[in-house]
């Protein structure tokens, strides 16, 4: 029996085993990554249909899906084009997203100055917590603007009051340390307490942001009267 004959028989057996496996057990299960891509593709189709209405909110959602899609489905150029149209129509979340793209260098050359321009525009048009947070970050870290804690504080405060948990944590830190504001342990405690339910999200934003540790550290420096006042302020903020 020749080697060539054996090779042909082995090849035929492989084909038959694959066919029989499909017949008896159904189509082979797709790998998780393929399933993830297929699911995301379905989401893109739905988002694209919604965006066809021209509504800025739907257009922005579709653009973000294109922007953060798996690599095989990603289209940063199309995303930026859609976002610019919505942003030029005055849609604030699209303006913020363009700022983020410039800050992170996604789909464009990284440019902190351009990022700040977009964040400023968005914050001027509305009291958007994301826009104010990113502006606070820019002044806090000196990204595209000179570092200035005094200018940082109002932006972080606006974002914190709008419910942005990372801004709540950072403004708490600023009150604790007296950066750009008069040191105030009561205010620090209140903002850390506000941020506490979102500790995981805050820690994911930046390693070392530990709400429980910060809250405990500040409370250890407070007397009973200060703690009672802080609790009263916190409860009042809860409505």
Domain extents for the chain?
A: 33-126, 153-239
148: left (phi > 0), else alpha (psi -120 to 50), else beta?
beta
Predicted local distance difference test score (pLDDT) of residue 134 = 98
Handedness of CA 118, 124, 130, 134 (dihedral sign): positive
Is pLDDT above 80 for 91?
yes
Give the torsion through C-alpha atoms of 223, 224, 227, 232, to 10 deg: -140
In terms of CATH, what superfamily is 33-126?
Tetratricopeptide repeat domain (1.25.40.10)
The candidate with the shortest Cα–Cα distance to 67, out of 107, 35, 103, 36, is 107
Is pLDDT above 70 for 78?
yes
Spatial separation of the C-alpha atoms in residues 106 and 127, rounded to whole Å: 25
Question: What is the CB neighbour count within 10 angstroms for residue 205?
Answer: 13
With 0-12 / 13-18 / 19 or more C-beta atoms within 10 angstroms meaning exposed / middle / buried, residue 20 is exposed
State pLDDT tens for residues 202-235. 999 999 999 999 999 999 999 999 999 999 999 9
Read off the tokens for 175.
């009150």
Read off the tokens for 187.
């205010």
């Amino acid at each position: 029996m020749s080697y060539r004959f054996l090779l042909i028989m082995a090849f035929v057996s492989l084909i038959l085993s694959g066919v029989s496996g499909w017949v008896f057990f159904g189509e082979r299960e797709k790998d998780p990554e393929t399933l993830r891509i297929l699911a995301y593709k379905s989401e893109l189709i739905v988002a694209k249909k919604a965006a066809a209405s021209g509504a800025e909110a739907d257009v922005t959602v579709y653009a973000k899906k294109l922007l953060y899609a798996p690599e095989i489905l990603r289209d940063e150029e199309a995303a930026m084009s859609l976002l610019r149209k919505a942003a030029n129509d005055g849609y604030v979340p699209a303006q913020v997203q363009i700022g983020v793209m410039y800050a992170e260098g996604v789909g464009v050359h990284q440019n902190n100055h351009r990022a700040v321009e977009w964040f400023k525009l968005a914050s001027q048009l509305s009291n958007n917590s994301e826009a104010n947070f990113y502006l606070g970050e820019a002044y806090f870290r000196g990204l595209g603007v000179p570092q200035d804690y005094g200018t940082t504080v109002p932006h972080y405060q606006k974002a914190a009051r709008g419910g942005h948990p990372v801004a709540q944590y950072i403004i708490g830190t600023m009150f604790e340390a007296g950066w750009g504001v008069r040191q105030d342990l009561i205010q620090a405690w209140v903002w850390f307490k506000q941020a506490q339910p979102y500790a995981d999200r805050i820690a994911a934003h930046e390693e070392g942001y530990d709400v429980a540790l910060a809250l405990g550290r500040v409370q250890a420096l407070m007397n009973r009267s200060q703690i009672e006042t802080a609790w009263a302020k916190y409860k009042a903020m809860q409505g």
